[in-house]
Amino acid sequence: MPHPTADDFQAAAARVAPFVFRTPLVRLPLAGGDPVFAKAENLQRTGSFKLRGATNFLARLDPGVRARGVVTHSSGNHAQGLACAAADHGVPAAIVIPHGAPEVKVARTLAWGARVERCDNDKAAREETAARLADELGATVVPPYDHPWILEGQGTVGLEILEDLPDVANVLVCVGGGGLLAGIAGALRAFGCEALIVGVEPELAADARESFVRGEIVAWPAEDVVRTVADGVRTQALGVHTFAVIRDTVDAFVAVSEDAILDAAAWYLREAHLTVEPTGALALAAVHALRRGEGPVRLRPGPTVVLVSGGNADPAVLVELARRPLD
């Protein structure tokens, strides 16, 4: 299937505009070097970028099909995004959330009026449970990341970056299933942006980096990826659509340690006054590493944007971050 085009991303931006916040680029108080800006999707209505793709998908559905409801599986942020989008469109939503997902994300999904069903935390269990619910309810399954309509919606983040910072030199994006990275990278390239684009993962869940290096989708076992504190990227593999776009548009991948992730999340909380879940801190952790000369690439001269994918952290995690020593 062809990659989304510039027209596709612009059309998606028009569809989602009534329902999503245009989030700011926040200049971070980092010492030395060129400026670094956080694209603060933690300030989105649902605390995450996921609302964009879910909204675009629902807007694209035939009204009769949409009215029968939607189903998805998610560790939490896509769950909230689809629950909110379904509420905005007045349709029912059933969400499959694996055991082990942060309870704050489960509670907020329920607060949007969605039905929640739990399952084991592996890809097969999630997909099978969602398919069963869709069959029982006559509803449509909305993929968490691997669909062109989802990529179009997430790519609206890239359009906003280009509009607010047309001379951006580097863009760093966390990656789980690849919807956010593929959407942003696809949109940036569709509009001629030549910035360095870097995907960022935890070392404990670096399947996308391995896939990128090997030139084929590589899946990691569920028991491996669940080890990372970055619960939003515990997916086992990239999707077919996301991998195809990432392969053609992304320059490099960086994997960071658990300590680096938590250090970056703590820094956001205490120095930038932003509430960021560990997944949302991945890109900043990579900037710190690249500034030290670690990693496969060097940042290009000029402004850098790091994606803060979400801010839906459990209160207990925030307490730990507030107490974490900073260098």
Residue 292 confidence class, pLDDT cut points 50, 70, 90: very high
* Average pLDDT of the residues in 82-86: 96
Beta strands 36-40; 25-27: pairing state: antiparallel
pLDDT of residue 327: 75
pLDDT tens digits for range 137-179: 999 999 999 999 999 999 999 999 999 999 999 999 999 999 9
Residue 124 has pLDDT above 90, yes or no: no
54 closest CA partner among 25, 91, 23, 6: 91
pLDDT of residue 213: 96
CB 89 within 8 A of CB 115: no
Domain segments of the chain as ranges? 6-48+147-323, 51-141
Annotated catalytic residue 123: no
Annotated catalytic residue 75: yes
d(CA 207, CA 118): 25
Per DSSP, 269 falls in state I
* Domain range 51-141, CATH class: alpha beta
285 closest CA partner among 17, 36, 56, 57: 36
In which residue are the tokens 């879940």 written?
Answer: 277
Which of 48, 74, 75, 211 is flagged as catalytic? 75
* Average pLDDT of the residues in 194-208: 98
Residue 1 confidence class, pLDDT cut points 50, 70, 90: low
In which residue are the tokens 């085009």 written?
Answer: 5
- Stretch among 29-33, 59-63, 86-90, 275-279 having the lowest mean pLDDT: 29-33
In which residue are the tokens 């569809």 written?
Answer: 15
Report the share of the chain in percent with pLDDT over 70.
100
* Average pLDDT of the residues in 44-70: 97
* Average pLDDT of the residues in 186-207: 98
* Average pLDDT of the residues in 80-99: 94
Q: Matching CATH topology for 6-48+147-323 and 51-141? A: yes
pLDDT of residue 116: 93
How much is the mean pLDDT over the chain?
A: 95
Which of 39, 48, 50, 309 is flagged as catalytic? 50
Q: Considering the domain 6-48+147-323 in this protein, what is its CATH number?
A: 3.40.50.1100
